[in-house]
Each structure stands twice: as structure tokens, then as C-alpha cells.
């Protein structure tokens, strides 16, 4: 396969779905970790192609969704300062904090700028030596190398006016927390292919062994996901609990070594709070002491700030696969993408936004319908 369309081929999707149907004899709950996978599943109706015994649970892998409320509030406070140019990826601007979002701060006159790379923020700092330039460094292991590079470059260029507000989170501790929870329903995982492209998959081996769960590193296109599910169900049906790599065209066992070395230079592993979930030990990156001068929380005196989350939003349960978005009483009524109550309704990778966007309760998706018709005609 050379082109993206081949990963969306309907006949191949039907064959994979049929293979899953053939081997499934028991009910299984499988979690796709990444929000990008969730969107593919809902958009293409992949779950509607599966036999009724297979339940897909949507996991915590949306970086915007899990950035804790207090980090959003810190961003709002920093961005509102007159000396600050606050740089961020666009999808963070609409995430609600406890008193508005970055768009509303910008509307009141703050200098909030959307950038496409953290290195753009370094450039802004170089061009504005009289201003404080802060970059909102959020994300999973996927975005960490570029953010590490920005801090590294700022230090090399001796930029005293650059800092980062860091909220990096890590996938393996989140999987461990999900599997350790008393209400856990997940029996197998589709691990996020892009995270593993950076980190490899060796750190998943002890998790598969300890919790006796299959973990299949999986891509994002419909055929990737169906193949990942097939590999996972094969393991579950045969009582195996191994780490397998469906996304071999991108992922190697040891990941991207230079990227990991750069991250290890700049970041250290810290306890991190996840929005809607709470603190997970050793689940994030923070700056190493050698780079503490670039820590925006320290620079603006916000290290000890904390805040309670909205009790109406059940995104914590959605992110742990305990509830589906439409089971939230506010879904589609008090909470919509235009007026979100929680971050999972904001992000392009959020499960609530995916359910809302693709109107899955009103319509059967085109792909699923086509596949069904194809199966009936066969």
C-alpha cells in the first residue's frame, strides 16, 4: 500500500471485519488509547462493522482533553499579563478554564498568538527581546521532542525572555492507572502509533505481562484500526497477552533514539495531574533543573496554584473508558462544541466532540452502511 486511500478501502475493511467476526466467540472490551483513533472509529463507523461482542472503549489519548484545569488557568493568568506574548497551538485556545479561555483573554486585549511549531515561539522571543514569550507545551510523548528542542535552542541562543508552560503526559502510566482502577472494563489495548513512533514499545512489555492484557501498537487509518482489533481479538481468544506491532511501517521497537535522547536531556519524569482523572504518579514530563530558568510556572510564581474541576462534566469517566460521551447528561444540550463544558468536547481529538461531530446517534455512517450492504449482497 502506497497511498492513504488504500488504507480506507471498503472491500479490505469488509474482509478484516469478517475475519474479526469469524474468530470472536466471547465478549471483549478493547480500548483505543488515542483520540485520533477514536475519531477514525466514529467517523468511519468502524465499531458498527464489528460483531456485537466487541466493545470499543475510548481512552485518554487526547492531549488537549487531559491538560488539567489549573494549567489552563495558569495559561490564562500568564497570557493576561501586559508584558507577555503567549504562544500556543490553536486547539488550546478554546479549552475552558475556570474563568474563560485563551480566546476570551485575547478578546480583552492580551497578546495570544497561534503558532504551528514551538520553534516559531523561539523565533518570536528572538524578535521581541523586550517582551516575555511563553509557549504552552502540552501533549503526549509525540510533541515532547519538538518542545524539548525549543527549550534547548532557547538556552543555546541565550534567550532570557523565553519560557514554557509544560503539561506533558505519558501513555504507559495512564494505561497502568486504567488497569488498576476497580471499575476497569478494558481487556486489551490499541496503543497509539505516533507515540510509539517516538518512544518505541519496550515500555509496554511489563504492562502486558503484569496485567495479562494484549497491547497492539496501531495506526490511525480505518484498515490500521481494524487490523489492530483483529490482532488484539486473536490474542484475547487464545489467552495470549503480548505486545504486537500493527504499525510497523512507522514504529520500531526502540522508537526514535535521537528524539528520546533529546527529551531525556531536557525533561525528567514527574507526577502529573490529568483533567477529569486526577494525579497519576510518574505520568508526565517536567523540565530538568538545568533548564529550570525556562519554566514559566516558576518565572510567574504559579507553582502552587490549584483549583477544583466542574462536577457536571464526566469527562474523567469518558477518558477512562467507563462511560461513553452520549451517557453524559449534558451531551449535546448544555455541552456542545460551541459551548463546551469540558475539554473532551473542545479538542479535535476529544471523544465527546467526535460523537457530536459525526452525529452517530442520528445517522449510520456511510462506510458502515456500504459495508453492510456489501455483506448483504455477498
In this complex, which beta carbon is closest to ligand SF4, that of residue 144 or of residue 314? 314
Query: Binding residue for ligand SF4 (CB under 6 A) from 54, 165, 342, 349?
Result: 342
Query: Binding residue for ligand SF4 (CB under 6 A) from 232, 251, 313, 368?
Result: 313
Q: Is 345 in the site for ligand SF4 (CB under 6 A)?
A: yes
Q: What cell was used for 7? A: 488504507
| DSSP code, position 281 | E
Query: Binding residue for ligand SF4 (CB under 6 A) from 149, 262, 330, 354?
Result: 330
Q: Is 318 in the site for ligand SF4 (CB under 6 A)?
A: yes
Please give the order of strands across the beta sheet that includes 132-139.
Answer: 111-114, 84-88, 132-139, 162-169, 278-287, 267-274
Q: Is 335 in the site for ligand SF4 (CB under 6 A)?
A: yes
Q: Is 67 in the site for ligand SF4 (CB under 6 A)?
A: no
CA distances for 155 relative to 152, 184, 294, angstroms: 5, 43, 8
In this complex, which beta carbon is closest to ligand SF4, that of residue 68 or of residue 228? 68
d(CA 78, CA 80): 5
Applying CB under 6 A, the span of 5-13, 94-102, 200-208, 330-338 interacting with ligand SF4 comes to: 330-338
Which residues share a beta bridge with 215? 189, 243
In this complex, which beta carbon is closest to ligand SF4, that of residue 311 or of residue 377? 311
Which residues share a beta bridge with 32? 58, 190
Query: Binding residue for ligand SF4 (CB under 6 A) from 217, 341, 354, 368?
Result: 341
In this complex, which beta carbon is closest to ligand SF4, that of residue 16 or of residue 95? 95
In this complex, which beta carbon is closest to ligand SF4, that of residue 286 or of residue 340? 340
Cβ atoms of 137 and 147 within 8 Å: the answer is: yes
**Cβ at position 315, least distance to ligand SF4 in Å:** 4
d(CA 371, CA 48): 10
Q: How many residues bind ligand SF4 (CB under 6 A)?
A: 16
The residues, ordered by sequence, that sit 6+ positions from 180 with a Cβ below 8 Å of its Cβ are none
In this complex, which beta carbon is closest to ligand SF4, that of residue 188 or of residue 340? 340
Applying CB under 6 A, the span of 80-88, 167-175, 230-238, 339-347 interacting with ligand SF4 comes to: 339-347
H or E element at residue 274: strand 267-274
Around 305, how many Cα atoms within 13 Å sit in the side-chain half-sphere? 19
d(CA 122, CA 295): 14
CA distances for 237 relative to 18, 54, 88, 109, 179, angstroms: 16, 12, 45, 58, 19
Alpha helices in 130-251 (DSSP H): 144-156, 171-180, 193-199, 205-211, 222-237
In this complex, which beta carbon is closest to ligand SF4, that of residue 58 or of residue 260? 58
Query: Binding residue for ligand SF4 (CB under 6 A) from 147, 186, 315, 347?
Result: 315
**Cβ at position 165, least distance to ligand SF4 in Å:** 23
Q: What cell was used for 213? A: 492484557
Q: What cell was used for 100? A: 474563560
**Cβ at position 69, least distance to ligand SF4 in Å:** 12
Applying CB under 6 A, the span of 99-107, 249-257, 294-302, 329-337 interacting with ligand SF4 comes to: 329-337
**Cβ at position 185, least distance to ligand SF4 in Å:** 17
In this complex, which beta carbon is closest to ligand SF4, that of residue 193 or of residue 350? 350
Q: Is 354 in the site for ligand SF4 (CB under 6 A)?
A: no
Nearest to 33, CA basis, from 169, 136, 166, 143: 169
In this complex, which beta carbon is closest to ligand SF4, that of residue 169 or of residue 319? 319
**Cβ at position 228, least distance to ligand SF4 in Å:** 25
Q: Is 344 in the site for ligand SF4 (CB under 6 A)?
A: yes
H or E element at residue 235: helix 222-237
| Contacting positions for ligand SF4 (CB under 6 A) | 312-315, 318, 325, 328, 330-331, 335, 340-342, 344-345, 352
Amino acid at each position: 500500500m502506497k497511498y492513504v486511500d488504500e488504507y480506507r478501502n471498503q472491500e479490505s475493511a469488509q474482509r478484516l471485519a469478517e475475519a474479526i467476526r469469524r474468530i470472536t466467540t466471547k465478549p471483549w472490551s478493547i480500548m483505543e488509547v488515542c483520540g485520533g483513533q477514536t475519531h477514525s472509529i466514529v467517523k468511519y463507523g468502524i465499531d458498527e462493522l464489528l460483531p456485537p461482542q466487541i466493545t470499543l472503549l475510548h481512552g485518554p489519548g487526547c492531549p488537549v482533553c487531559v491538560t488539567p484545569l489549573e494549567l489552563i488557568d495558569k495559561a490564562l493568568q500568564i497570557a493576561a499579563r501586559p508584558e507577555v506574548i503567549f504562544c500556543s497551538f490553536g486547539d488550546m485556545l478554546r479549552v475552558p478554564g475556570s474563568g474563560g479561555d485563551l480566546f476570551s483573554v485575547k478578546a480583552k486585549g492580551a497578546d495570544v498568538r497561534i503558532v504551528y511549531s514551538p520553534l516559531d515561539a523561539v523565533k518570536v522571543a528572538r524578535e521581541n527581546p523586550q517582551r516575555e514569550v511563553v509557549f504552552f507545551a502540552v501533549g503526549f510523548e509525540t510533541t515532547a521532542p519538538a518542545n524539548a528542542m525549543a527549550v534547548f535552542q532557547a538556552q543555546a541562543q541565550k534567550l532570557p525572555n523565553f519560557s514554557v508552560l509544560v503539561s506533558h503526559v505519558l501513555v504507559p502510566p495512564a494505561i497502568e492507572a486504567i488497569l488498576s482502577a476497580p471499575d476497569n472494563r478494558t481487556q486489551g489495548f490499541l496503543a497509539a502509533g505516533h507515540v510509539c513512533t517516538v518512544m518505541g514499545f519496550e515500555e509496554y512489555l511489563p504492562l502486558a505481562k503484569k496485567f495479562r492484557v494484549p497491547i497492539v501498537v496501531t495506526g490511525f487509518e480505518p484498515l490500521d484500526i481494524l487490523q489492530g482489533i483483529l490482532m488484539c481479538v486473536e490474542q484475547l481468544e487464545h489467552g495470549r497477552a503480548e505486545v504486537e506491532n500493527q504499525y510497523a511501517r512507522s514504529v520500531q521497537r526502540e522508537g526514535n533514539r535521537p528524539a528520546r535522547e533529546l527529551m531525556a536531556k531536557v525533561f525528567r519524569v514527574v507526577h502529573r495531574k490529568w483533567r477529569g482523572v486526577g494525579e497519576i504518579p510518574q505520568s508526565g514530563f517536567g523540565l530538568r533543573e538545568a533548564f529550570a530558568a525556562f519554566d514559566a510556572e516558576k518565572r510567574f510564581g504559579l507553582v502552587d496554584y490549584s483549583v477544583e474541576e466542574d462536577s457536571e462534566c464526566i469527562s474523567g469517566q469518558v477518558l477512562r473508558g467507563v462511560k461513553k460521551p452520549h451517557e453524559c447528561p449534558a451531551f449535546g444540550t448544555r455541552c456542545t462544541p460551541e459551548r463546551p463544558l469540558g475539554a473532551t468536547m473542545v479538542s479535535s481529538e476529544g471523544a465527546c466532540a467526535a460523537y457530536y461531530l459525526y452525529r452517530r446517534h442520528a445517522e449510520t455512517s456511510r462506510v458502515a452502511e456500504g459495508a453492510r450492504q456489501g455483506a448483504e449482497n455477498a
